[in-house]
Structure 1
């Protein structure tokens, strides 16, 4: 079992539940942080002390308050810690349930487990940790379908920009000029229209407004 675990979670009630669960599983050292910046500092200190954490459990979203922070999300924290400790296993524990987010975390950030907070999340948390120990990847059953949705593989950074501009009320004509000014290519009106049409097919959206709405629901923009 893991011996030293770092938790990044901003709600006390969840922190308490996680700590109790880890203690029941025999984890000897548990540290937690309510801010991503603090979690990164703890990770750096542990490495400096030659006693690094062997598992990171983190949420994705953190509420803003009076404090100014550098790292504002779980994704940013994972990226920062992986830069100083590339091999640390990561277990994401969150209410987030958008397919695009799950797929991105597993395929791009290479997280080892994604547990959806819910009624059975504690038992899933235990299973996830055991799966990681044996070199596997765990995804909550209600979200496992995300990795099978091949259509998301067709979405490029260019498409995300198009969708973002559409959500901000920018017309295709305005987008064409904007892309030209920023030297983003292809930037012709006809190509942008073709990409929007393809995105409608991928998401099975009936209108551009419907396309934007679905993109937001899936966490793409």
Structure 2
């Protein structure tokens, strides 16, 4: 069983329940963080001390308060942690049920399991922990399992997410191309980017860029 686990969850009641479930699985060392930034710092410190975490269990939504944070969502946290520690096993424990968002977490963020919060979520979470410890199989709550089989769902890539995020910030085509070149995203030519935007508009039946951004937000892509 995993020896060292980090739980990123801002609600004490849920965090305590998850910690108890991990204790029942004989996890020896369990840490908790209410803020994404704190979770990231714990991961970095553990790596620095050469005692890394084996598993991350994270929610996606964290309530904003007076504190300013670098990472506001579970997706941002997972992306940062995966860059720092690519081999860490990761479980998302969330109420989110948007298909695009969940598929993106598997395809682009490299999570190992997705457990939906609900009536049977704790037994499912314990099962997910046991399964990803013993194998590399992707685990998802039974009620959402069809999402991974549904080939009609467009394979949204990290490239598309980055593109949609820049569009939502008001970047025009040439500015997106320049930004992509700065951070090394390819293709970064204006023509290629325009073609991808048009492809996304056709797929999502968006009338224009504003409509596309609105749909992307409704689907939880950005």
With the shorter chain as reference, the TM-score category is 0.7 to 0.9
> 127-136 vs 155-164, which deviates more?
155-164
Q: Judging changes above 3 Å, is the alpha-carbon distance between structure 1 residues 44 and 163 closer, same or farther for their aligned structure 2 residues?
A: closer
Given that 1:8 and 1:58 are in contact with CA atoms closer than 8 Å, whether structure 2 keeps it comes out as: yes
SS of residue in 2 equivalent to 1:115: strand
Give secondary structure in 1 for the equivalent of 2:50: coil
Aligned to 1:23: 23
Other structure's SS at 1:129 match: helix
Equivalent in the alignment of 2:120:
120
Partner residue, 1:108 = 108
Shift, 1:25, TM fit: 1.3
Q: Is the 8 A contact 1:160 1:220 kept in 2?
A: no
Runs in 1 of length 4+ with deviation above 3 angstroms?
A: 154-165, 180-184, 198-203, 205-217
Alpha-carbon offset, residue 195 of structure 1: 6.2
Residues 29-48 of structure 1 mapped to structure 2, 5 A cutoff: 29-48=29-48
* TM-superposition CA deviations, 1:152-184 (whole Å, max 9, x none): 12778569857986x89x9xxxx9xx4256556
Question: Paired residue for 2:190, among 185, 198, 218?
Answer: 185
- Alpha-carbon distance change, 155 to 207 in structure 1, aligned in 2, over 3 angstroms: farther
TM-score, normalised via structure 1 length: 0.78
1:144 maps to which residue? Answer: 145
Is this contact kept in 1: 2:161–2:221, CA < 8 A? no
Counterpart in the other structure of 1:61: 61
Decide whether the 8 Å contact of 1:21 with 1:122 is kept in 2. yes
Q: Over aligned residues, Cα RMSD in angstroms?
A: 3.2
**SS of corresponding position for 2:93:** strand
Please say if residues 60 and 74 of structure 1, whose CA atoms lie closer than 8 Å, have aligned partners that are also in contact: yes
Structure 1 residues without counterparts, runs of 5 or longer: none
Matched residue count: 208
Q: How high is the TM-score relative to the length of structure 2?
A: 0.77
Seen in structure 2, the aligned counterparts of structure 1 residues 186 and 37 have a Cα distance that, compared at 3 Å, is same
In the alignment, is the contact (CA less than 8 A) between 1:102 and 1:143 conserved in 2? no
